[in-house]
Amino acid sequence: MSCEEFTEMLTDYLDGRVPYGRRLGMLMHVAMCSHCRRYLRQMRVTIDLTQDLGAQDTQPSRAPDELKSEVMRAFRERAASHTEQGSES
């Protein structure tokens, strides 16, 4: 396996989607190649930092009042029309 092939498969590897044989090949490659070992480690750090950013970003995730009242009104209307249909049948 070449370093280029290793990097091409890295995303699937990190998602646990590389079949056993290929995964073994990747593990053997990374054991021998310090550059790919570094690349793998840095990609993991990159993903961690991006995920941290996502976690910070979505902390206050409540929907704005205007949006919420509009969709809640539509939800109530749907429920009311279902109740009417139910009582008619």
Partner 1 sequence: MHDMPSTRTGQSEESLLLERLRLGDETVFAELVDAWHGSLHRVATSYLEDAAAAEEVVQETWLAVIDGLDRFQGRSSLKTWVFSILMNKARTRARRDARMVVWSAFDEQPIEASADPHDGRFKKKGSWQHPPLKWTITPEDTLLRDDLAMVIKRTIEELPANQRVVVTMRDLQGLDPEDVCQALGITNANHRVLLHRARAAIRAAIERYMVDGEEEKTA
Minimum distance, C-beta of residue 20 to partner 1, in the bound complex (Å): 18
Q: Which of 31, 78, 87, 89 binds partner 1 (CB under 8 A)?
A: 78
Minimum distance, C-beta of residue 24 to partner 1, in the bound complex (Å): 19
31 binds partner 1 (CB under 8 A): no
First to last CA, the chain: 68
Burial class (CB in 10 A: 0-12, 13-18, 19+), 30: buried
Burial class (CB in 10 A: 0-12, 13-18, 19+), 43: middle
Q: Which of 28, 31, 46, 84 binds partner 1 (CB under 8 A)?
A: 46
Q: How far is CA 74 from the centre of its chain?
A: 30
Binding site for partner 1 (CB under 8 A): 2-5, 7-8, 10-12, 15, 17, 35-36, 38-39, 42-43, 45-47, 49-54, 56-58, 60-64, 67-68, 70-72, 74-76, 78-79, 82-83
